[in-house]
Amino acid sequence: MPTSVAIVAPGNMGVGIGRRLVDNGARVTTSLVGRSAASARRAETAGMQAVEDAALVRSDLLLSIVPPGEAVAFAERMAPHLATATARPAFVDCNAVSPDTAARIAAIVAPTGAAFIDGGIIGAPPQAGGKGPVIYVSGESAARALALRGHGLDVRVVEGGIGAASALKMSYAGITKGLTALGAAMMLGATRAGVAEALYAELAASQPALLPWFTRQIPGMYQKAYRWVAEMEEIAAFLRDDPAAAEMFRGAARLYERLAGDGSGATDETVSLSHFIDQSQIKKAS
């Protein structure tokens, strides 16, 4: 029998994973509560079936793939349905949250009788012809998520119980998204000081690997910055035993909050960043 998987919500990652599962024989459901018409079209195109919340729990696995600031609320929303389900799915929290937040979500799920799996996604949404992200899972029931391997996903168990997968995600995202924040901050600083072109030239000469990485990562950040605010706060919570490090990520959260602007990602500073990473634009502006 094909695996039945519920995925909430149908954002870029959720839809990408949903499509990969459908293409590999799984039945995938989702919820469109509070979602836009564009989300509905994405879900339909991916072969995901929109159902009511009560029907989401009629699955083998329920994957929570929401912005980190919504992870707890989604678990609270699903708890009553999990509690009354006749055959409960394993609840897999795949969100970028700290181990403490993962434990809080596990505590919400536990009274329902459903198994809880801590998860963390590292990598971009699956694309046709590509491997897609790695989904790390941990906890006593983590092996149940390995069924997704048979439907085209790279799922790996991390030893260490609930919180281990989240800790790995926090550590990795702290490096990649933290580095993106650092690069953006210094590029904006150079722009304000009038030395943007000189910094670009120096990076091109002495950091031939780093500049192309920023060139790829920074433009892609604009539309995601609003979601990264809560993620930076979760990383700060993960680093609570190192106050200086935690403060860095609270600062990164404020930077991403500012860059997100009205949610469109189009701000004066993002325009400046785009000018910085495009050498021809820098020359035109100088």
Taking only the tens place, the pLDDT of each residue in 228-250 is 999 999 999 999 999 999 999 99
* Contact in structure between 276 and 196 (CB atoms under 8 Å): yes
Highest mean pLDDT range out of 6-10, 126-130, 261-265? 6-10
pLDDT at 261: 84
pLDDT at 283: 54
* Contact in structure between 117 and 144 (CB atoms under 8 Å): yes
Task: Give the pLDDT confidence of 106-138 residue by residue, as tens digits.
Answer: 999 999 999 999 999 999 999 988 889 999 999
CA-based nearest residue to 26, from 61, 50, 65, 54: 61
Query: Which two three-digit tokens encode residue 284?
Result: 């035109």
Between β-strands 134-138 and 116-122, what pairing exists: parallel, antiparallel or unpaired?
antiparallel
pLDDT band at 281 (very low <50, low <70, confident <90, very high): low
Query: Which two three-digit tokens encode residue 71?
Result: 């992870």
- Helices (DSSP H) in 122-278: which residue ranges? 164-193, 196-206, 210-221, 225-238, 243-260, 268-277
Could you tell me the residue ranges of all domains in the chain?
A: 4-160, 166-285
pLDDT at 268: 92
pLDDT at 286: 52
Please name the CATH architecture into which domain 4-160 falls. 3-Layer(aba) Sandwich (3.40)
The 8 Å CB, 24+ separation contacts for 273-277 are 273/184, 273/187, 273/188, 273/218, 273/219, 274/219, 275/191, 275/196, 276/187, 276/190, 276/191, 276/196, 276/199, 276/200, 277/187, 277/200, 277/214, 277/215, 277/218, 277/219
Least confident window among 137-146, 241-250, 257-266 = 257-266
